[in-house]
Amino acid sequence: MTINSRGSCTAFRGRRVVWWFSAVLFLCVMTPLVSWSAVTLSPEMEKDLGQMLIVGFRGLSVDEASPVIQDIRKRNIGGVILFDYDVPAGSPVRNIASPVQVRALTEALQAAASTPLFIAVDQEGGKICRLKTRFGFPPTVSAEYLGGLDDPAASRRYAMAAAETLHEAGSNVNFAPVVDLNRNPTNPVIGMLERSYSADPAVVVRHAMVVIEALHSRRILLALKHFPGHGSSAADSHLGVVDVTRTWDPVELVPFERIIKSGACDMVMTAHIFNGNLDSRRPATLSAKTITGILREKLGYDGVVVSDDMQMGAIRSSYGLEAAIRMALAAGCDILVFANNSVFEEDIAERAVGIIRKLVADGTVTPEKIGHSLGRIKKLKERISPAP
């Protein structure tokens, strides 16, 4: 049978269509397998997902039935944070009652952990001080007071006392010093609480370095806060979104930049502030432009980035838990803090680990990102203070 040229062309096109359809079908079948293999975590990484969390809890003591002990044993959480006052309950009883009690608590927590815990405290001095004199701890003074004196020797005395207090209590992380510039003295969360050393970055760096040296002398880690600078705000990010677009100035980066360049920075804590000039969509904690673009790439920081409390109003009121975790990890955070002291969610660690696992499984967060974060955390934990 003779086939004319048009018939040959038609037959060829038919074969080409069949080949193309078969190729597409093959890719559709194989793609889920390729994607799944690309997002599978190693058993070690799977076990260590909880290392990316620092969690608050209730109790002056713990036992095997305590929820926080279950989080340590079953979810391998990276650390805990201690408070003196329980805000959601309106109770003066939380984790701190006396030096002896706190030491027994921290020892019990560490004893339950297969990986050494970060045990964090906000021990800035002055009004932001968890280990207070009423519990039997030594007196402290505010950063503003020390900055006003501008006497490094005085700052060193108080810093050494604070470092010794933390060490004896069994804490190995101080969420301090505050390196925000006091650009707005009526700022309800920085200036009015006397948490800033000065509006002058040179003064801030001078006294922050004294604090850092004292903490390091007792093998206690520090976190500079609150990046990229909370000092110019006019509202409290504990309550809701704080916009500093019109008040923030690049000079607020100077203390972070200088201390990072000195090599003395262990962690940087992010601020839940919105700055439309840095990112027109997201607050700093959730902003890749701010954390990856400025902190990591511009300032050259490759250490641990820890979020401020993810349950604060600035995040909780505007984002769901999964969205907030997804954006914080994508932005460059390594550790997420759930202080459980704005709201109390006993199962927050279990939920957060489950969300991180889901984000990896569906390809939203890469194993490489998790691996980098876990690597930074592991390296930092090699430096935490053992029990004296």
Q: Give 27's pLDDT tier (boundaries 50, 70, 90).
A: very low
Q: What is the pLDDT of residues 164-216, one digit of tens each?
A: 999 999 999 999 999 999 999 999 999 999 999 999 999 999 999 999 999 99
Query: Is position 388 within any domain?
Result: no
User: Which amino acid is located at 241 in the chain?
Assistant: V
Q: Which of 117, 132, 249, 257 is nearest to 183 (CA)?
A: 249
Residue 386 confidence (pLDDT)? 58
Instruction: Judge if 2 and 120 occupy the same domain.
Output: no
Can you give the pTM of this predicted structure?
0.88
Instruction: Judge if 116 and 12 occupy the same domain.
Output: no
Q: Which of 207, 230, 238, 272 is catalytic?
A: 238
Instruction: Judge if 267 and 178 occupy the same domain.
Output: yes
Q: What is the pLDDT of residues 284-298, one digit of tens each?
A: 999 999 999 999 999
Domain count of the chain? 2
DSSP 57: -
Q: What is the pLDDT of residues 90-103, one digit of tens each?
A: 999 999 999 999 99
Instruction: Judge if 275 and 348 occupy the same domain.
Output: yes
238 is an active site residue: yes
Cα–Cα distance for residue pair 34/196, rounded to 1 Å: 51
- Find where tokens 């880690």 sit: 221
Query: Under DSSP, is residue 272 helix (H, G, I), strand (E, B) or coil?
Result: coil
Query: Under DSSP, is residue 337 helix (H, G, I), strand (E, B) or coil?
Result: strand
Assign residue 101 the CATH number of its domain: 3.20.20.300
Q: What is the pLDDT of residues 322-358, one digit of tens each?
A: 999 999 999 999 999 999 999 999 999 999 999 999 9
Q: What is the pLDDT of residues 163-175, one digit of tens each?
A: 999 999 999 999 9
Q: Give 7's pLDDT tier (boundaries 50, 70, 90).
A: very low
Query: Is position 13 within any domain?
Result: yes
Instruction: Judge if 220 and 362 occupy the same domain.
Output: yes
User: Which amino acid is located at 178 in the chain?
Assistant: V
User: Which amino acid is located at 148 in the chain?
Assistant: G
DSSP 97: S
Residue 385 confidence (pLDDT)? 57
Instruction: Judge if 207 and 328 occupy the same domain.
Output: yes
Containing domain of residue 20, as a range? Answer: 1-38
Instruction: Judge if 31 and 107 occupy the same domain.
Output: no
Q: Which of 236, 308, 309, 334 is catalytic?
A: 308
Q: Give 51's pLDDT tier (boundaries 50, 70, 90).
A: very high
- Find where tokens 């923030």 sit: 248
Residue 384 confidence (pLDDT)? 86
Instruction: Judge if 14 and 157 occupy the same domain.
Output: no
Mean pLDDT, the chain, whole residue set: 90
Window from 24-28, 221-225, 305-309 with minimum mean pLDDT: 24-28
Cα–Cα distance for residue pair 164/221, rounded to 1 Å: 13
Instruction: Judge if 31 and 48 occupy the same domain.
Output: no
Residue 16 has pLDDT above 80, yes or no: no
What percent of the chain has a predicted confidence (pLDDT) above 70?
88
For residues 20-43, average pLDDT = 47
Residue 273 confidence (pLDDT)? 94
Cα–Cα distance for residue pair 17/150, rounded to 1 Å: 79
Cβ contacts of 313 within 8 Å, gap of 6 or more: 237, 238, 239, 240, 241, 342
Cα–Cα distance for residue pair 106/171, rounded to 1 Å: 7
Instruction: Judge if 201 and 342 occupy the same domain.
Output: yes
Q: Give 382's pLDDT tier (boundaries 50, 70, 90).
A: very high
How many CB atoms are closer than 10 A to CB 71?
A: 23
Residue 155 has pLDDT above 90, yes or no: yes
Residue 3 confidence (pLDDT)? 35
More confident residue, 388 or 301: 301
What percent of the chain has a predicted confidence (pLDDT) above 90?
83
Query: Is position 219 within any domain?
Result: yes
Residue 17 has pLDDT above 80, yes or no: no
- Find where tokens 């053992």 sit: 386
Query: Is position 376 within any domain?
Result: yes
Residue 8 confidence (pLDDT)? 41
Instruction: Judge if 11 and 115 occupy the same domain.
Output: no
Q: Give 259's pLDDT tier (boundaries 50, 70, 90).
A: very high
Cα–Cα distance for residue pair 315/307, rounded to 1 Å: 11
Instruction: Judge if 19 and 113 occupy the same domain.
Output: no
Dihedral, CA of residue 235, residue 236, residue 242 and residue 246, to nearest 10: 40
Query: Is position 256 within any domain?
Result: yes
Query: Is position 386 within any domain?
Result: no
Q: Is 136 left (phi over 0), alpha (psi -120 to 50) or beta?
A: left
Q: Which of 308, 306, 388 is nearest to 342 (CA)?
A: 308
Residue 36 confidence (pLDDT)? 34
